[in-house]
Amino acid sequence: MISRRLLLSVALLTAGLSPALAQNAKLANPAALTEQAPATYKAKFDTSKGSFVIQVTRAWAPTGADRFYNLVKNGYFDDGRFFRVIPGFMVQFGLNADPALNAKWRVARIQDDRVSQSNTRGMVTFATSGPNARTTQVFINFDDNSRLDGMGFAPFGKVVSGMDIVDKLYSGYGEGAPNGRGPDQNRIQTEGNAYLTQGFPRLDHVTKATIVP
């Protein structure tokens, strides 16, 4: 007798989903991942350099806190690279290893939050390309970047342990294309980790991100 799991896998692949999407069909439907986050929660990131913990306070930026909670809870960040690491500024991550998933989430924009906290060292914020354009990319401030506050970048959490690990993430590739020689975000979107593994093999990565007590 053919197992239900096998039938489900065949159905997902027949529907045109990549193997990674077939393993986690929830991530293929961003509109379904809208669970409200707790008032405060912690997310642990195990990485190729070690572990760090982000504490999120929902009141700081409710929409961003909810999105981050759903991304972590459903494994979106797992195996993703820290693709933009600029010493003295910030480290950016949040593009998925699988380009098929990136295509799903690239258009899953959320509304802006009011900026209630400042982008100081250790604060965690969603990247954005304009008004109401946040999706999955997040950055951690290395330094006092309070100049970003007036540009609409609303912190939703803070690194409460392991900031020394964040400081050690590989930064040798510098700024990304077209302004530098680092990874091209458009190519990460469309090619995923295959592009990064070939061209930027020294990038550090998330091994597992989880919600923790």
What are the chain's domains? 30-212 (2.40.100.10)
Tell me the C-alpha distance between 79 and 29, whole Å. Answer: 19
The band of 7, judged by pLDDT with boundaries at 50, 70 and 90, is very low
Angle (CA) 194-195-198 rounded to 5° is: 85
The band of 22, judged by pLDDT with boundaries at 50, 70 and 90, is low
Q: How many CA atoms lie within 13 A of 185 on its CB side?
A: 18
Is a pLDDT exceeding 50 seen at residue 149? yes
What's the gap between Cα 163 and its chain centre? 17
Mean pLDDT of the 187-204 span: 98
Angle (CA) 96-102-105 rounded to 5° is: 110
**What tokens were used for 80?**
């993703």
The band of 26, judged by pLDDT with boundaries at 50, 70 and 90, is confident
Tell which phi-psi region holds residue 110, choosing left (phi > 0), alpha (psi between -120 and 50) or beta. Answer: beta
Indicate the range of 15-19, 87-91, 93-97, 168-172 predicted with least confidence.
15-19
**What tokens were used for 62?**
């409710």
Predicted local distance difference test score (pLDDT) of residue 5: 45
Tell me the C-alpha distance between 83 and 172, whole Å. Answer: 11
Predicted local distance difference test score (pLDDT) of residue 21: 53
**Inter-CA distances, 79 with 4, 9, 144, 159, Å:** 28, 22, 28, 20
Tell me the C-alpha distance between 23 and 33, whole Å. Answer: 16
- For 52, the 3-state DSSP assignment is strand
- For 76, the 3-state DSSP assignment is coil
The band of 178, judged by pLDDT with boundaries at 50, 70 and 90, is confident
Indicate the range of 13-17, 120-124, 134-138, 174-178 predicted with least confidence.
13-17
Predicted local distance difference test score (pLDDT) of residue 174: 95
